[in-house]
Amino acid sequence: MATEASPDKYKQVREDIAKAFPNENYDDGSFAPVVLRLAWHASGTYDKNHKDGGSDGATMRYKAEAEDPANAGLEHARTFLEPIKAKHPWITYADLWTLAGCVAVEHMGGPHIEWTGGRKDKNNETDCPPLGRLPDGALGKDHILDVFVSRMGFTVQETVALIGAHTVGRCHRDRSGFDGPWTYNPTRFSNQFFKLLLNTKWVEKKWDGPRQFVDEDDEIMMLPTDIALLEEPFRQYVELYAKDQQKFFDDFAAAFLKLIELGVQKRGRL
């Protein structure tokens, strides 16, 4: 069972995570985007029909989930958090990873997320969810609806808000196969992803890699799933968030909190 801790102890963990994010030797000088991705991927395996998967358990510690191609590169985020875990051994990995994702959003200028503790770690590789549950950036509208709405139980609007996390970070050729940042400021959480999606002329990249789209100068990119957001039923929310950053922040905070709590059996909110 997760060890109960006071709010002050969680506050110290938050501070230690935030202080460690800047690193000139990692992507764009910060570990925050990849740590946000860790929290997202640790949670995005939830299946409301089978009632399994999700952040409770931190099962990406095991080979079966860690080596899912969709999680390529997340060993950097897990390794980054090991010194924090060593300093605060009382916190579970499941709580640490999700808390770190929330700290990452705020550290990059995004909204505060009302995270609470209580997740347990599972200690058996057989607890890993089936592979193939995470979103595949190479696919399109039907895939997005299947993963987010049918399996995880999000609304269409929540789905668009969550994909807005692509406003930070970048893809790597040696991990996902895709390459490049989504925005010009990949360590600043904003609504720039939506603005660029709507207002940039996207062309298919001519290369030997997977299908992706780039601007005319090949400085930023979008995945097929991102371009699919220009279709209905998603487009109206893309337009909304491009116009209103605060609305995006409010909706993202609520949707991300829902994501990291899917399937979590809480034992008291802290």
Catalogue the active-site residues: 41, 182
170, 171, 175, 176 alpha-carbon torsion, rounded to 10°: 140
Rounded Cα distance between 116 and 255, Å, is 15
Residue 126 near residue 1 (C-beta atoms within 8 A) = no
Burial class (CB in 10 A: 0-12, 13-18, 19+), 86: exposed
Q: 181 to each of 166, 167, 172, 216, 236, how far by Cα in Å?
A: 9, 9, 9, 14, 24
Rounded Cα distance between 245 and 253, Å, is 12
The one-letter code for the residue type at 188 is R
Residue 242 near residue 198 (C-beta atoms within 8 A) = yes
Name beta bridge partners: 170.
181
Q: 118 to each of 79, 134, 205, 266, how far by Cα in Å?
A: 22, 24, 44, 5
Residue 92 near residue 119 (C-beta atoms within 8 A) = yes
Q: From the CB of residue 31, how many other CB atoms can be counted at a distance below 10 Å?
A: 26
The two structure tokens encoding residue 177: 């196969």
